[in-house]
A and B are shown apart, each in its own frame.
Chain A
Amino acid sequence: MGKRNFSVASLPGFATIAMITFVFLYLPILTLVIYSFNEAPSMARWEGFSLRWYEAALNNTQVQDVSIRSLVIAFWAASLASILATMAALATTRSERRFPGQTMVYALINQPLMVPEIVTGVALLIFFAMIKVSTGYQGLGYLIAAHTAFCIPFAYLPIRARLETMDLTLERAAADLYATPMQAFRHVTLPLLVPGVIAGFMLAFVTSLDTVVITEFIKSAGQDTLPTYMLGQLRRVITPEMNAISTLFLLLSLIAVTVFFLLSRKKT
């Protein structure tokens, strides 16, 4: 036997710790999914397999209503955040020289990752209240704006990573071959950036779908999203219908994250 390289996997207790970690992470979710197929009207006992709670959830007009609202908000917030994040990523990676306050700008873009959500929630509540009073507008715009701001760093990070690993010589080559800066962006930078933008969009989309705190603070009456609706329902009575909704929600997130993964793995 030759000398072997150090491997964390060969440390004593490694397998045990790994197993415990996985159980902690996935056992609760697995339980939730299993009980979504429970025939019984309560969480306490298993009475056999049934899809009745899925049927109930899908026929529940309130669930339909809040789900559509969540998807609409997530779509617009992720789209706007992706566009803004692409612009920000270009400015922070493609400037000829570092511009004054570049580090500051970087910190500001990532602000939502650092400022506690509840602080943002309170601030936006007050700020939006003032706008509501002066304009009278009550629509979904506030939620979309708030989610957009919150989602920018999630879109920004993969886009910036993609730009940073892109070979700058390609843009130089485009300029050398008579492309104006706009043409170089349109024909070289942007096509190569697309997987990063879609990845950023997916992350932002999932993040928006999941946000509770900020939504809770700034939603007007009748503007519940799926997470805030579920929170409201759980305060009253817990039925396996919630398990079914959660499982569907989980499925949607899994699809979005899988698309993100496949795209970020794809080499151009």
Chain B
Amino acid sequence: MPPSTTRSDIEVVNLSKIFGSGEDAVRALDDVSLTIPENEFFTLLGPSGCGKTTLLRMIAGFEQPTSGKINLGGSDIADLPPNKRPVNTVFQSYALFPHMTVAQNIGFALKMLGKPKTEIDETVSRMLKLVKMEPMANRKPAQISGGQQQRVALARALAPRPRVLLLDEPLSALDLKLRKEMQVELKRLQAETGITFIFVTHDQEEALTMSDRIAVMSTGKVLQVGPPREIYNHPAERFVADFIGDTNFISAQVDRANGRSATVRLPSGAALDAGLPEGLSPREGENVTLVVRPEHAKLAADGALKGTVENAVYFGTDTHFHIRLDTGDLFILRSQNSAMPAGLPEMGDPVAIAIPQGAVQVVRG
């Protein structure tokens, strides 16, 4: 039952889920292992169909794993029904009970647990305050806005003080402005309550702004787990680099590899230092793919890459240069605009691109 003094680390061990059987079998989750420590804002990020929602539903208890274990604070919860798990969910559709008031929705879990009325009332008013919904306590869900419904869904799931809160793309139905507000709000709630949040999204920006750590998923597998900066600056896989942010892929040859760094040689002959993902140790002369973020590269008089400006797109805060490299590849470079835009190259101008130390990463695939 929810209140507990033991640690609430979530441990997912070799978890697999296969839907259907025989030739129609779909491996929704493929041998996934993760550890999510207590009090972390953890995000499962990936495109639709990557298995992130299946994983969330298995932690909630709505799906049974085909194999593997889910440990919460050291004990396996994989066989418990949803109502026996100290885990609550904020549903994508909110799933507020339409026949109950906001206050009744928020008090539902405590009522089901048989808590005394005074305790329920006290918790409900505390929750209403936490999500700033006190004036709406007696409204029905149909009488409040989408953003307000979202807050009620959060309060309802937090009211019984779960050890883990699961959030299934909860912001996807909100408009942009509200979504930005709720991002900050969610982060605040997580800090205030100290409850582990497992947040599912396909929105990379949401993941980067809110998470302590992100697990990037694709086709049922976890590709990389790490803090947002590490995922963004040092993607281990081509998919991760491509899915998060804008990216330039460049081919190169390995000169030397040493632990987590390597010296690579571009077709132009220029040598660069590049980061290596964990567990990858390419041989000398091996072809690898490099990732360079558009905003990390700089226009320079002399640089490792040379090409011609094909297009310059003005975005206000910055300008995107589409540069056709001499190798034939397209390179996108993002340059922050200054108040005195003098000497910027125009279409057709030959340019050189400088890539600073630490801006190059070798990726798998």
Contacts and interface: CB of A to CB of B under 8 A. Distances in A.
B98 A177 contact: no
Interface in B129-173: 142, 156-157, 160
A174 B108 contact: yes
Contacts of B82: 172, 175-176
Contact of B91 (A173, A180, A188, A267): A173
Contact of A176 (B1, B89, B99, B142): B89
A178 B84 CA distance: 6
B112 A173 contact: no
Contacts of B60: 176
Contact of B99 (A174, A177, A268): A268
Contact of A188 (B2, B97, B113, B157): B97
Interface residues of B, number: 27
B83 A167 contact: no
B83 A176 contact: yes
A172 B87 CA distance: 13
Contact of A268 (B1, B62, B93, B98): B98
Interface in A159-213: 167, 169-170, 172-180, 183, 187-188, 191-192
A167 B62 CA distance: 15
Contact of B83 (A175, A191, A192, A268): A175
A205 B358 CA distance: 79
B97 to A, nearest CB: 6
A169 B95 contact: yes
Nearest to B168: A169
Q: Interface size bucket, A side?
A: 10 to 19
B109 A192 contact: no
Interface string A243-268: 00000000000000000000000011
B49 interface: no
A173 B95 contact: yes
A176 B89 CA distance: 7
A170 to B, nearest CB: 5
A167 B109 contact: no
Given A167-B93, A179-B83, A192 B112 contact: no
B132 to A, nearest CB: 22
Given A183-B112, A268-B98, A178 B89 contact: no
B53 interface: no
B154 to A, nearest CB: 13
Nearest to A169: B95
Given A172-B82, A173-B89, A187-B108, A178 B95 contact: no
Output the residue of A176, A179, A191 with the most chain B CB within 10 A: A176
A176 B88 CA distance: 6
B93 A169 contact: yes
B81 interface: yes
Contacts of A267: 142
Interface in B80-135: 81-83, 87-89, 91, 93, 95-99, 108-109, 111-113
B78 to A, nearest CB: 16
Contacts of B112: 174, 177-180, 183, 187
Nearest to A179: B112
Nearest 5 Cβ contacts at the A-B interface: A177-B109, A173-B95, A169-B95, A175-B82, A179-B112
21 contacts: A169-B95, A170-B95, A170-B98, A172-B91, A173-B91, A173-B95, A174-B97, A174-B112, A175-B61, A175-B83, A176-B157, A177-B88, A177-B109, A177-B112, A177-B157, A178-B2, A178-B83, A178-B109, A178-B113, A192-B99, A267-B142
Given A178-B2, A179-B112, A183-B112, 17 more contacts: A172-B91, A173-B95, A175-B83, A176-B82, A176-B83, A176-B89, A176-B157, A177-B108, A177-B157, A177-B160, A178-B83, A178-B112, A180-B83, A187-B108, A187-B112, A267-B142, A268-B98
Interface of B: 1-2, 60-62, 81-83, 87-89, 91, 93, 95-99, 108-109, 111-113, 142, 156-157, 160
